[in-house]
Structure 1
Amino acid sequence: MQERTLQILEFDKIKKELAQHTASSLGKQKVADLVPCFDLAAVQKNQQATYEAATVLRLKGQVPLGGIRDIRPALRRAVIGSRLDVAELLDIAQTIAGGRKLKNFLEKVCAEQEALPHLEGLEQQVTPLREVEQAIRSCIDDHGDVLDSASPVLKQIRSRIRQAEQRVKRQLEQIIKSPAHQKMLQDPIVTIRQDRYCIPVKAEYRHHFGGMVHDQSASGATLFVEPEAVVSINNELREAKLQEEREIDRILTALTRQVGEVQEALAQNIQALAELDFLFAKAYYAKSIRAVQPKLNDQGYFKLVQARHPLIPAQDVVPTTFELGGGYTCMVITGPNTGGKTVTLKTLGLLTLMACAGLFIPAEEGSHVAVVSSVFADIGDEQSIEQSLSTFSSHMTNIVNILEQMDENSLLLFDELGAGTDPTEGAVLAMAILDHVHSRGARVVATTHYSELKAYAYSRPGVINASVEFDVESLQPTYRLLVGVPGRSNAFHIARRLGLREEIIETATSQISSDDRRIDHMLAELEASRKRAEQDRREAERLKQEVERLRQSLAKKEAQLEKEKERLVAEAKQQAGEKMARMLKEAEHIMDQLRQWQHQHQVVKEHQLIEAKKGLEQIKEATESRKVGITRSVVAQKRSQTFKAGDDVYVHTFGQKGQVLEKLSDQEYYVQLGIIKMKVKAGDMKKIKSKQSEQAALTRVQTKRETVSLELDIRGQTTDEAIAAVDKYLDDALLAGYQQVSIIHGKGTGQLRKGIQDFLRQHKRVKQFRLGGAGEGGSGVTVVTLK
């Protein structure tokens, strides 16, 4: 791999952005050591690891990576027996704690998700080492101070120190507060010099207090004297502090020995934690640039769908769709200066390097990247064809080195191939170089201004033209790559738009050969045809989506109607059952009366039989009437439909669509079914919308949708203003038939997001809402599903 290629394609800038997402110096070192790999199996493994980290980040939102330190120098010192200081021991405890938190986090995630083998393997390499961490924490606090409780001896020594300090301070305070000593002191304070308590005495009173002088001011007027009265106490205090230092040294030595005993486990922890920090940095970086995992191959096939250069700001970059290695292995890109040719080369090269380094690429799903044997680039910053000989020599030297090192699996990128010399010689030389590379089977993309190379692609199999689009009306490039269409000269159009006299343009045009004019005319027609085809394709795709949405809406409504019909039938059956039960109960009551009369009178009288029979008949009539009512309620909708000549209908009995020709009666019609005309009952068919009415409905929906966006941006508004805007927007979205919309409120303090989500909870037409996911804006966007 040429270091020059990495610099030209700015891979080092990608690493710098990636390093910003690491949580420790361990991860930063891994990023610094990152280089592209050109082995398919290794690249697939690295991409899978990045995918697992991105999956965890997508599911959990964040990963606990805090507290990890690079403790490898401390471990090496511990192994050779050198005592570690409190800062080093505290770093070790924090790293053990950070590793344990990350291990526990990954254990839970791996238990929930099965396809995370790489992360699971790294998690298992982390040993908790709770005993070492607790031993350090029990002796050293978070500020790096050794605790009194580190040992009984240390606690006793510090108690003596505090008592001695209190005694010496009391003694000295008595001196400085005495009226007799006020004039002898420079300031009435107690201070420390050379780790001993002193008082500031004027020089002329030096012998009044006895004791020792430990320091003096710059002018010599003030002496810092340790009075004779506190010398013995200070000596006792000094001795206790020396004992404290020896005890602390003993405690730290014991902790260092304990760390040295688990040095191998700690080293393995550091190695695993460094790799985890590196993997999640790649996942965070992929999320920040909306990158996806590319599909890899070793067949030299590239297909970048809506690819974006990761170093160009998102608001400025123009996505490019690019394909190479399928039907053609060589591409020649022509077009105007500053039109995007060089950016296209760099995008292809840089995304290939990123993929081979295990990074996701900023493109859409379905993008393919070939794992090549090497990537070579000759891309200069010069954009003028009036280059010096030294520049041409420099480019040719680089090209010679590339041709010597390349093989059939290489990717070659040439910017302005053959430029910097005589145009005729440069064009011929460029074609010879492309012929050589193409014959070797390597993948090559070259940009050029030479018109001779436009014909080159037509005469060589496996070679294709491409160009960057230029808008003649606005005199601005669109930065779109047009594959299969060579760039054409726009000089005359631009000159005419800028006001050059027509006779000058005509004179220049007359000096162009007829072949060149025919080619330019053909290219103009080809470009116009391409634009019309592209416009028709977009319109057809839009109509297709609208029709599909309409079809889904109709299917949903039909299902709702069917469900409502089933509910009504069930309710009618339930009511009929309850009515029947009451009728049976009444019939049983009448039978009981007959039996009672018979028992009382031995013989039932005629008028009693007539009354009982009349009651039973009334029950029968009510039951039969109820059955008829149920039957009528089931078919009422079918029979209530009326049809007229020309109505489009669907005939259930034949499963076909037809058209009503004539009304025979309210329940029977003459219907055309294909080539057959027949009588059909009204209950066997239903009216359907005609194509004209469907088109009219579709047109209304399209008209509304053309004025209503799928997103509403309310950033910068107050909560009240935003709620009013969201309320109106939801009404418009419902009229447009949208089922899901996005509200962009930004992250900020979260107050605007909370206010909007509280409003959405109360909205009767909001089915549900959620925060945006990966690629949708995250917590800065709320995605709303409408009823």
Structure 2
Amino acid sequence: MDEVTRKRLEFDRIIGFAQQFCLSDMGRDRLGEVSARGFVDGLHMELERVLELKNFLLEGHSLLFPVLPDTRRLLKKLGTVDAYLEPLELLDVHDLLQASSLLRTFMFRNRTLYPSVNDLTVRLWLEKSLQYEIKRIVDEQGRVMDTASDGLLQIRNELREGREVLRRKMERVLRRCQENGWLMEDTVAMKNGRLVLGLRVEYKYKLPGYIQDYSQTGQTVFIEPAEVLELHNRLQDLELAERREIERILRQMSSHIREELDNVLHNQDVMSEFDSLYGRARFAVDTGSVLPALENGGRLRIVRGYHPWLLITHRSRDEEVYPLDMELSEEERVLVISGPNAGGKSVAMKSVGLLCAMLLHGFLVPCHESSVFPLFDDIAIGIGDEQSIENDLSTFSSHLEQVRSILDAATPSTLVLIDELCSGTDVEEGSAIARAIIEELLAIGVKAVVTTHLGELKAYAHEREGVINGAMEFDRSSLSPSFRFIKGLPGSSFAFAMMQRLGFSEVLVQRAESFLDRESAGFDAMLDDLKTVLDENRRLREDLESERRDLEVRKRELSVREGELRLRKQELRQSVSREVQKEVELARKQIRKIVHEVKASPGVGKVEDARRRLQAMRSDAAVGTEAAMKVAEVSSAEDLSVSPGDMVRVLTTNTTGEVVSVDGDTVVVQCGTFRLTTSSGNVEKTSRKKVRRIERGESGSSGGPGWSARASSLESNRLDLRGLTGDEAVSEIERFIDKLRMNRIGTATIIHGKGTGALRLRITEYLKNNRYVKRFRLGEWSEGGAGVTVIEL
């Protein structure tokens, strides 16, 4: 793809926009130099790397190095034997090596996520000693540190001491001059690199020393006092020694880098390549670009594709950009797009070319992932309205010259784009030339997209195998283009509608229409009728497709729900089975105990008591079995969901209460004065009327305690007494302690709140005298503080 094509497609603008996302100038230059390459020449790998880096960014990662220095000039400088790097240049080398190490290490650790990028970064030279040496001698501000060498440390210590002595001496001389009134300025100044005092000119011989300068008015003389002359000279010698030592250190460090120059240059090359990929990945994130399917054949399928530059520029102005949907089979070699002026023909054609060009240069493209693009070796474009003044060519001559160049260079792997084919000349002759050009394109075997207004060319495209019509839709009701591409139909120019839109009088428009031959008018009317039918079919297909997608979603949801309910049913059966086994074992123990008591002390009273107890156990078992059966009969069609405030019955305990909270599959139920925590599958909704019947014992079982005896088991060791009187609280505590003992729970929490403290005192009084309470205390801060009492049985 030559420079002219890049410019006509506005591909250079895409490159320029993507360059701003690179980290360094060398990455930006590398991106600007990117050239098209074939699928087998590394394009697939390059696109995979850009895609992996895009995912890297979308996953919230960021590079461990915020900038990447451009080291090309300074490394080239090291090619000269006597050259050495300045401190800031050494820091750039350090940052390049550090960035290389960090990137290589990160990508290697995450090579399963970013395998293609790792294939590139694993080639980086992993080096630590040079980084360490550079940081040992140069600080973050680019200053050679005192510790760079023992000699430099000694020189700088002497410099500091000498400057301190000089400062004290100058201050003494300054005070003496001030006392004598000799000074024009009451400060120490610097002239010619020496510290001086500004004296009035008439007192210049009062102070022994060396005259360094005069003021512009000649009224002030700047004198270096004689007593600091020798010290100044000594400091100058030390400063010269410092510069020489620094230069020696820099030369030595540069020599070490020069020894590894090939490796450093290799890292520079890999990092610049990575930077160009990184810039393209950030561009993809910014524009919502994806990697479509790529094929070696000629099939083209663009789904919701956008002209990238329009997407970028219109977004900044908050203007809508219309997507392009287009599909051409491998046999459909040439697409002829027709339609109104300013209706989007040229934009659609250029969109195809620009998207293909981006892919060939390693860019992801703004379209849907289901799109399919063929791979071309080259792209050629001809613009119909260009003129060549310097070659003295008219518009049409310039156009034919472009087409000739395209035909001469085209191969079966070339994408050809021609805007307004053979416009600007006699319609009949232009149509004939256009047909001949398309025949030549078919003979070469290219894929081509051309735009036209020529009616004969539309008819030719309808009849010729391998050529297909396409139109840009026009909305007659609003007299404006809709920018939607329609395959298989030629488009009308809608010139008369455009006249109406632009404000021409109705009389003039009708007069123009009267000059149009009836055959042409009938053809346009037929196109309108056909378009209406196609639009209706399209809407029906879209409605059917929408309904199909909705049904698919509903089907998947029902399938998931059915699976969840089936699993929940299985879990409930297992849970009920375990509960029943526990109850059976408990019943066996009680029966053995009753039999033992009767044998130990036979008598009518004992036997009658044993009979009543066994009858109660049978009732318990009947109700328990009924609850278990209800749990087991949960079907996949039931709505088992409950919400806070619902009245429910806990199936395994036959207790009722109000749902306090729901967290996933966990439900907390307030049952009287205590709370149960259970699974959502172990509760069923019930009305408040039914709850009252159950609370009165009207559950359908025969009299006696029934399954309610199971309620003595606890699923919570917390008792909330807030809002109760002292007597009510004591009654609740008695029942609560009994249940704790029956369930062998040793520690529990009583919640009474802080309030006035009256309820807490009453509870404390009761607990002191309860023989089952071993000890009790107020809660810790994390347990509820003075609002709770923790008891131990």
User: Normalising to structure 1: TM-score of the pair?
Assistant: 0.73
What is the CA-CA distance between 1:496 and the residue it aligns to? 6.5
**Number of the residue aligned with 1:81:** 82
Q: Equivalent of 1:583, from 567, 587, 595? A: 587
Secondary structure in 2 matching 1:331: strand
1:413 aligns with 2:412: no
Counterpart residue number, 1:629: 626
Residue 616 to residue 38, structure 1, CA distance change in 2 (3 Å): closer
Cα 1:97–1:422 shift into 2, 3 Å? same
In structure 2, distance between residues paired with 1:249 and 1:489: 76
Q: Secondary structure at the match of 2:78?
A: helix
Structure 1 Cα separation of the partners of residues 284 and 106 of structure 2: 21
Q: Deviations over 1:552-588 (max 9, x none)?
A: 4444555565556556655554554344334323432
Give CA-to-partner distance per residue, 1:132-189, whole Å, 9 cap, x none: 1221212111111111111222122112212222222222222222256654322111
1:437 to 434, 441, 444: 441
Aligned residues: 626
How many Å separate the matches in 2 of 1:620 and 1:195?
Answer: 110
**Structure 2 counterpart of 1:368:** 372
Pair 1:318–1:136, CA change in 2 (3 A)? same
Distance 1:178 1:501 in 2: 100
Give me the whole-angstrom Cα distance separating, in 2, the residues matched to 1:517 and 1:481: 23
Letter in 2 for 1:479: F
User: How far apart, in 1, do the equivalents of 2:210 and 2:500 lie?
Assistant: 100
In the other structure, the counterpart of 2:108 is 107
The aligned runs of 1:11-410 (5 Å cut-off) are 11-38=11-38, 40-79=40-79, 80-110=81-111, 112-113=112-113, 116=115, 118-178=116-176, 183-312=181-310, 313-314=314-315, 315-380=319-384, 390-410=394-414
CA offsets per residue over residues 56-80 of structure 1, 9 Å max, x none? Answer: 3333432234342222333343342
Q: Tell me: CA distance 1:404–1:325, structure 2 relative to 1, closer, same or farther (3 Å).
A: farther
What is the percent sequence identity of the aligned residues?
28
Kept in 1, the 8 Å contact 2:26–2:72? The answer is no
- What are the superposed Cα offsets for residues 512-566 of structure 1, whole Å, 9 maximum, x if unpaired? 4443233222211111011111211222222223333444444455556555655
Distance change (3 Å), C-alpha of 1:563 and 1:615: same
TM-score by length of 2: 0.73
Partner amino acid, structure 1, of 2:431: A
Q: Could you tell me whether the CA contact under 8 Å between 2:90 and 2:134 is conserved in 1?
A: yes
> What SS does the aligned partner of 2:394 have?
helix
Gaps of 5+ in 1: 598-603, 642-787
The aligned runs of 1:514-525 (5 Å cut-off) are 514-525=518-529
Alpha-carbon deviation of 1:629?
Answer: 3.0
What amino acid is the match of 2:105?
A: N
Change (3 A) 1:632 1:237: closer
Q: Secondary structure in 2 aligned to 1:187?
A: strand
1:165 is aligned with what amino acid? Answer: R
From the superposition, tell whether residues 162 and 461 of structure 1 become closer, same or farther in structure 2 (CA, over 3 Å). Answer: same
Q: 1:420 to 1:529 in 2, by over 3 A?
A: same
- Relative to structure 1, the CA distance from residue 123 to residue 180 in structure 2 (aligned partners, 3 Å threshold; closer, same or farther) is closer
- Are the structure 2 counterparts of residues 486 and 65 from structure 1 closer, same or farther at C-alpha, using a change threshold of 3 Å? farther
Task: Please say if residues 164 and 237 of structure 1, whose CA atoms lie closer than 8 Å, have aligned partners that are also in contact.
Answer: yes
- Cα drift, residue 91 of structure 1: 1.5
5+ residue gaps, structure 2, are 639-793
When residues 301 and 554 of structure 1 are mapped into structure 2, their CA distance, relative to the original with a 3 A threshold, is closer
CA distance in 2, matches of 1:464, 1:368: 19
SS state at 2:478 partner: coil
* Pairs within 5 Å for 1:731-746: none
> Aligned partner of 1:422: which letter?
D
Distance 2:481 2:101 in 1: 55
Task: State how far apart, in whole Å, the 1-side matches of 2:379 and 2:570 are.
Answer: 67
| Secondary structure of residue in 2 paired with 1:201 | strand
Give the structure 1 partner of residue 468 of structure 2. 464
Alpha-carbon deviation of 1:334? 0.5
Q: Deviations over 1:696-725 (max 9, x none)?
A: xxxxxxxxxxxxxxxxxxxxxxxxxxxxxx
- The RMSD of aligned alpha carbons is 3.1
Amino acid at match of 2:630: S
**Aligned partners of 1:339 and 1:470 also within 8 Å:** yes
From the superposition, tell whether residues 191 and 617 of structure 1 become closer, same or farther in structure 2 (CA, over 3 Å): closer
Give the SS at the match of 1:316: coil
Q: How does 1:554-703 map to 2 (within 5 A)?
A: 554-555=558-559, 558-559=562-563, 562=566, 565-566=569-570, 569-570=573-574, 572-593=576-597, 595-596=599-600, 618=615, 622=619, 625=622, 629=626, 633=630
Structure 2: which amino acid aligns with 1:33? E
- Asked if 1:482 is matched to 2:486, the reply is yes
